[in-house]
Amino acid sequence: MNREDFPILGNGKIYFDNAATTLKPKCVIDAMDKYYLEYTSNIHRGDYDAATITNEKYDNVRNIVSEFINCDSKTVIYTSGATHSLNMVVFGFMRYYLKSGDEVLLNKGEHASNILPWIILSEEIGFKIKYVPLNEDYSLTLDNIKKMVTPNTKVISLAMISNVIGDVRDIKAIGDYCKSNNIIFNVDGAQGIPHMKFDFKDSNVDFLSFSGHKMCGPTGVGILVGRYELLEKMKPIMYGGGMNSFFEEDNSYELKDIPTRFEAGTPAIAEVIGLGEAIKYLMGISMEKIHQQEINLKTYFLEKVKDIDNIIVYNKNVNSGIIAFNIDSVFAQDASMYLNHYGIAVRAGNHCAKMLKDEMNIKNTVRISMYFYNTYEEIDKVIEVLRNSKDIFKVIL
Partner 1 sequence: MNSELKREIIFDNYKEPTNRGLVEDSSYLKTNTHSDSCIDNLDFMMKIEDGIIKDIRFDGEACAISTSCASIMIKSFIGKSVDEVRSILTNYINMINEKEYDSSLLGELNVYDEISKQPNRKNCALLPMNAVEKMLENLKN
Active site residues: 352
Which residues 359-378 are close enough to bind partner 1 by CB under 8 A? 363-364
Q: Which is nearer to partner 1, 116 or 237 (CB)?
A: 116
Under a CB-based contact definition with an 8 Å cutoff, are residues 236 and 264 in contact? yes
Q: Which is nearer to partner 1, 230 or 396 (CB)?
A: 396
Number of residues that bind partner 1 (CB under 8 A): 15
**Shortest Cβ distance from residue 21 to partner 1 (Å)?**
16
**Shortest Cβ distance from residue 341 to partner 1 (Å)?**
10
Q: Which is nearer to partner 1, 72 or 334 (CB)?
A: 334
Return the closest-CA partner of residue 389 out of 340, 349, 335. 335
Range list of β-strands (E), 80-221: 103-106, 128-131, 153-159, 184-188, 207-211
- Give the Cα separation of 257 and 263 in Å (integer): 11
Under a CB-based contact definition with an 8 Å cutoff, are residues 318 and 191 in contact? no
Q: Which is nearer to partner 1, 196 or 335 (CB)?
A: 335
Per-residue mark of binding to partner 1, 51-90 (x: CB under 8 A): ----------------------------------------
Altogether, the residues listed in the chain come to a count of 397
**Shortest Cβ distance from residue 162 to partner 1 (Å)?**
18
Per-residue mark of binding to partner 1, 378-397 (x: CB under 8 A): ---------------xx-xx
Q: Which is nearer to partner 1, 2 or 350 (CB)?
A: 350
Under a CB-based contact definition with an 8 Å cutoff, are residues 144 and 132 in contact? yes
Give the ranges where 212-286 is alpha helix by DSSP (H): 228-233, 269-285
**Shortest Cβ distance from residue 337 to partner 1 (Å)?**
7
Residue of the chain from 39, 131, 300, 331 that contacts partner 1 (CB under 8 A): 331
**Shortest Cβ distance from residue 119 to partner 1 (Å)?**
20
Q: Which stretch binds partner 1 (CB under 8 A): 63-71, 229-237, 241-249, 334-342?
A: 334-342
- Give the Cα separation of 335 and 392 in Å (integer): 8
**Shortest Cβ distance from residue 363 to partner 1 (Å)?**
6
Under a CB-based contact definition with an 8 Å cutoff, are residues 198 and 175 in contact? no
Under a CB-based contact definition with an 8 Å cutoff, are residues 93 and 236 in contact? no
Which residues 336-355 are close enough to bind partner 1 by CB under 8 A? 337, 340, 348-350
C-alpha distance across the termini of the chain, in Å: 36
- Give the Cα separation of 65 and 220 in Å (integer): 17
319, 324, 328, 332: CA torsion to nearest 10:
170
Q: Which is nearer to partner 1, 12 or 394 (CB)?
A: 394
Under a CB-based contact definition with an 8 Å cutoff, are residues 160 and 225 in contact? no
Residue of the chain from 31, 287, 332, 386 that contacts partner 1 (CB under 8 A): 332
Which 8-state DSSP code applies to residue 141?
-
**Shortest Cβ distance from residue 63 to partner 1 (Å)?**
40
Under a CB-based contact definition with an 8 Å cutoff, are residues 273 and 58 in contact? yes
**Shortest Cβ distance from residue 394 to partner 1 (Å)?**
7
Type of residue numbered 66: S
- Give the Cα separation of 360 and 126 in Å (integer): 29
Q: How many CA atoms lie within 13 A of 77 on its CB side?
A: 32
Q: Which is nearer to partner 1, 80 or 350 (CB)?
A: 350
Type of residue numbered 100: S
Q: DSSP string of 352-379? A: T-TTTHHHHS-S-EEEEE--TT--HHHH
Q: Which is nearer to partner 1, 104 or 356 (CB)?
A: 356
Contacts with partner 1 by CB under 8 A lie at: 331-334, 337, 340, 348-350, 363-364, 393-394, 396-397
